[in-house]
Amino acid sequence: MKMKNILFLQGPLGPFFKKFAHYVSAQGHQTYKINFNGGDRHYSGADHVFEYVDESEKWHAYLSDFIKEHSIATVIVYGDCRFYHKIAKQVATECGIDFWALEEGYLRMGFVTLEKDGCNANSSLFNHPEKFQAIQPQAIKSSLMVGPTFAQRAWFATIYYLYIHFTKKVYRHYSHHRPWTMPQETIFWLKSFKQKWFSKLGDSKRYKRFIKQYDKQFFLLPLQVEVDFQLREHSRFEFVTEAISEIMHSFAVNAGPEQALLIKHHPQNRGFAHYGEFIKQLTNELDLGDRVLYGHDFNLPDIYKHAKGVVTVNSTVGLSALIHSLPTIALGKAIYNIEGLTYGKNLDEFWQDSFKVDSLLFAKFRTYLCQQSQISGDFYKRSEKLAENLYLKINSACRSKK
C-alpha cells in the first residue's frame, strides 16, 4: 500500500511536533515539515524539512505546488486561525486532502483538542446540538495527570523567541501571529512575574471581603487575552476593553443593587495588559461603588462555589462554569453556546433572569465533545503517549473515510 505523506506546519511551542513527526514516520509514513522562522526550525523534526522565506502573499501558490509535488495527503497544524494555517486550510480544501487542527483542550488539563477542518467556531461540532441529543452521558476522564506546566511552557517559549530574534534576517518576510518582538515579550513576562507576586499579596484579602458581602449575588467576568483568536476571529469585539465597557454598562443599568461583578484577569495576559485604571474609571462613572472587583489571583474553583453566574465573550471558562451548572451567557461564538446550555436572550435581561442550565443536556454535550474532539495527553509533559493517541485518532478517521 502506498505510504501517506503528512505535512506538519507550526506546532505548539516546544518539541511536540518533532516527537509527533518521528512517531508518524515510525508507522511507515513520509513526514514533511515547513518552517517559517528560526524557532520553528529549532524545534522541527521530520523526514523532509523545508524553509519558507518568501513573502506571505506567495504562500498560497507555494503550498499548492508543494502539496502536489510531494503528494501530501494530510496537513496538521496547531491553531487554525494563524495566517499560514488559514491559507493552508483553503489549499487543503482546494486539493481535496485532509486538514487537522490541534488546540489546547476544550476541557483543558489532561486533554488536547483534535478536529478535522478546524476548532472552536470553525469546528464541525459548532452549533449542531442535534448531533448529541441521543448520546448517553458518560464520565470521561483523561488518562494523564498533568500538573503545572507553566515553567515548561516558559522555557520552550524563551528558546523559541530567541531563535526567532537571532534569525529574523533569514526569515525577514515572516508574519507572526503575536504582534510583539522578542525584547517586548521578555519585558512583558518580567512584568507578569512581578504582577503575579504582587497579586498574591493583595487579591486574597480583597476577594474574601467581596465574597462575604456578595456571596451568591455576583457574576464572574473572565477576561481573555487581547490577541486571542477567539476574541479577534470569533467575536465582534476588537479589544478586551470594548467587552468590559459593554458588560459593565449593561450591569450598571440592569443588575439589582444587591448584585456585584467580579472581573478576573487572564493569567496569560498578565504583564501584557492591565485594566485596573480603565475599570476604576468606569466604576466611578457608572456609580457602582464597591460592587466591582478586579484582580489577577482569584481561584476559579472557589469562585464557582460562590458565583451567581458567568458572563463571557467566548472563554473556555464558560465550559468550566457549565460543568458547575452556573448560568452563563456568551457574547461571541463559542462551541458551548447552545440553547439550553447558555442564556439565549440578551445581556440586559441576563442579570435578573432565573435561567437554569439543562444539566442532562450538558452531560450529553460534554460526552459528545470528549468522544469527538478531546484526546488524553499534554503537549508539554509526557507527550510521547499523546503522539500515539493522536495518530490512532487520525489514522482511524482516514480508514473510516475509505
Last residue of a domain, one of 284, 313, 337: 337
Number of domains in the chain: 2
Any domain includes 370: no
Would you say 250 and 351 are in contact if contact means Cβ atoms under 8 Å apart?
A: yes
Any domain includes 170: no
Any domain includes 168: no
Any domain includes 59: yes
Q: Examine the domain organization and report whether 249 and 203 are in the same domain.
A: yes
Q: Examine the domain organization and report whether 333 and 200 are in the same domain.
A: yes
Mean pLDDT, each 10-residue run in order, the chain (402 residues): 80 96 96 97 96 97 98 96 96 96 88 93 84 85 74 86 92 83 67 64 83 97 86 90 97 97 84 85 97 90 96 94 96 93 96 95 93 92 91 80 58
Last residue of a domain, one of 337, 358, 386: 337
CA distance 90 to 209: 52
Question: CATH code at 74?
Answer: 3.40.50.20
Which triple of cell numbers denotes residue 252? 450598571
pLDDT of residue 401: 61
Any domain includes 365: no
pLDDT of residue 6: 97
Structural domain span for residue 152? 5-159+375-401
Question: CATH code at 307?
Answer: 3.40.50
Any domain includes 153: yes
Q: Examine the domain organization and report whether 201 and 127 are in the same domain.
A: no
Q: Examine the domain organization and report whether 14 and 119 are in the same domain.
A: yes
Which triple of cell numbers denotes residue 190? 518580567
pLDDT of residue 267: 77
Any domain includes 167: no
pTM of the model: 0.89
pLDDT of residue 134: 86
Q: Examine the domain organization and report whether 155 and 225 are in the same domain.
A: no
Number of H helices, E strands in the chain: 14, 12
Any domain includes 166: no
pLDDT of residue 2: 44
pLDDT of residue 1: 31
Exposed, middle or buried, 208 (CB in 10 Å: 0-12/13-18/19+)? exposed
